[in-house]
A = this chain, B = another copy of it.
Amino acid sequence: MDEELLMVRVAELSYDESKTQDEIGALLGISRWKVGRLLLQARERGIVRIEIVHPRARRLSLERALVERFDLRDAVVVPAPDEKDLVLERVARAAADMLTALRPAPRTLAVSWGRTLTAVADALPEGWTHRVTVVQANGGVSLNRRAGGAASLAGTIAHRGGGQAILLPSPAILERVETAQAIVSDRTVAAVLAQAAAADTLLFTAGPADAGSAHVENGYLTADDIVELARRGAVGDVLGRYIDADGNVVDPQLDARTVGVDLAQLRAAPRSIFVTAGAAKHDIARTVVSNGLCSIVVTDESTARELLEET
């Protein structure tokens, strides 16, 4: 008799009909132990497929693999939904869940900005924590007056966490190094930066080095600048700082014009949570994760698989 057919029959009786292995054995004329073994094989061979269908489902095995491989504190991986544009939403919700459950709860949370983090902020429920202080970690998009900008992002997170937001009153990138130095030495700005650097938790995203970058959109850089950065090896930016595949700053000159927590401070943070979604960010995600720039990563299944692929 065909062993595989037997597996199918056994699986049907077990899962569809919820019969006991004893009953199945009697029915098919085989011993109950054989039934158990067939059931096991059926699962191994993928004849029986068990999946968890839910927007909040996760991929624990990938999470474990990421933690292991990149020596992380934690990882959250959500399954890729059927519809592409839901990825960001799911990752954001997962990040929100993670933040809510984070222990010890963050007292001071430094945040960067971007579409991804805006989505995270929106996904956070009212009362997700108590008395958190939210500090902006890098220069803002205050030029941009529409709702959902950097200020409102920090505000939302703080408000829903029963705390207050501290904004960084500075552009992301200055035109001249001297201006940047002047701003950074301003007492108010310096205080905010110091507080961000001292935050117990840092929440950030990264952007790819392409023309769609928020820096271009907000006028801090031109499309040509990006092309030039990419030519010099930049794969994307973290907290406004463009880095190459090895995690090094690509253009020190540009870096000196950028206002915000720097990479060394990011590395030194007690907890740094990196949120990323979508194929466009695979390269920069790899850079961040494999160079120890984050201790916790929140992402989607396809990014996770890409990260785990042997080089």
| Chain A residues within 8 Å of B, Cβ to Cβ | 4-5, 8, 11-13, 15-17, 42, 46-54, 56-61, 97
Q: How far is the CA of A12 from the CA of B51 in the complex (A)?
A: 9
Tell me, rounded to whole Å, the shortest Cβ–Cβ distance linking A207 to chain B. 30
Partner of A52, one of B16, B54, B59: B16
Q: How far is the CA of A17 from the CA of B57 in the complex (A)?
A: 13
- Which residues of B have CB within 8 Å of A49? 50-53
Tell me, rounded to whole Å, the shortest Cβ–Cβ distance linking A175 to chain B. 48
Contact, CB under 8 Å: B8 / A60: no
- Which residues of B have CB within 8 Å of A56? 4-5, 8
* Other 9 A-B pairs with CB < 8 A, given A5-B56, A47-B54, A49-B53: A12-B57, A13-B60, A15-B52, A16-B60, A16-B61, A17-B60, A47-B53, A49-B50, A50-B50
Shortest beta-carbon contacts, A-B, top 9? A8-B54, A15-B50, A11-B52, A47-B54, A50-B50, A8-B56, A16-B60, A49-B53, A49-B51
Q: How far is the CA of A151 from the CA of B49 in the complex (A)?
A: 43
- Which residues of B have CB within 8 Å of A5? 56, 97
In the complex, 23 of the A-B residue pairs with CB atoms within 8 angstroms, ordered by the A residue number, are A4-B54, A4-B56, A5-B56, A8-B54, A8-B56, A8-B57, A8-B58, A12-B58, A12-B60, A16-B52, A16-B59, A16-B60, A17-B60, A17-B61, A42-B52, A46-B53, A47-B54, A48-B51, A48-B52, A48-B53, A49-B52, A49-B53, A50-B50
- Which residues of B have CB within 8 Å of A12? 52, 57-58, 60
Tell me, rounded to whole Å, the shortest Cβ–Cβ distance linking A1 to chain B. 10
Tell me, rounded to whole Å, the shortest Cβ–Cβ distance linking A298 to chain B. 16
- Which residues of B have CB within 8 Å of A60? 12-13, 16-17
Measured CB to CB, the nearest residue on chain B to A10 is: B52
Q: How far is the CA of A46 from the CA of B17 in the complex (A)?
A: 16
Tell me, rounded to whole Å, the shortest Cβ–Cβ distance linking A148 to chain B. 26
- Which residues of B have CB within 8 Å of A57? 8, 12
Q: How far is the CA of A190 from the CA of B238 in the complex (A)?
A: 90
Tell me, rounded to whole Å, the shortest Cβ–Cβ distance linking A80 to chain B. 16
- Which residues of B have CB within 8 Å of A58? 8, 12
